[in-house]
Amino acid sequence: MNKTILSVLPVVALAAAVLVPAARSGAQTAPSAADGMRLYQAKCGGCHSIAANKVGPAHKGVFGRKAGMAPGYNYSPALRAANITWNATTIDQWLQGPQKMVKGTRMFLSVPNPAERAAIIAYLRSDAAK
């Protein structure tokens, strides 16, 4: 019996050595809502929160909603008139340059890094922001 265990052990060890790094690198490339939450707090939190209007509108339920619809927020005429529904594609475009997407909007910040945009979008569509 000991012989069987000893002969299987190296195989198990090898499999673990191969599989664990693969799983780790997968976790790094897939956008994670947890990373997105940290990025959101760092980059967006000065002007936005999920629950409350600040300098920018509250983001509760923003994913899937039309632009300019956060209750009680005073939007620019440009964003209010923009016929955009926020989803992964439109938020990605928005974060590459709000002014390019909606001329006259009052949001200026852009996020040039695609992985950071993907993580922030994953957070905005997660349960935490619904």
Binding site for ligand HEC (CB under 6 A): 43-44, 46-48, 55-57, 62, 67-70, 75-76, 78-79, 86, 91, 94-95, 105-107, 109, 111, 120
Shortest distance in whole angstroms from residue 93 CB to ligand HEC: 11
Q: Please report which helix (H) or strand (E) contains residue 58, including its range.
A: none
Q: Rounded CA gap, 92 and 97, in Å?
A: 9
DSSP readout, 51-67?
A: SS-SSS---TT-TTSBT
Shortest distance in whole angstroms from residue 17 CB to ligand HEC: 38
Q: What's the token pair of residue 9?
A: 């052990």
**Closer by beta carbon to ligand HEC, 78 or else 88:** 78
Shortest distance in whole angstroms from residue 18 CB to ligand HEC: 37
What is the chain's length? Answer: 130
**Closer by beta carbon to ligand HEC, 21 or else 46:** 46
Of residues 29, 28, 36, the one with CA closest to residue 121: 36
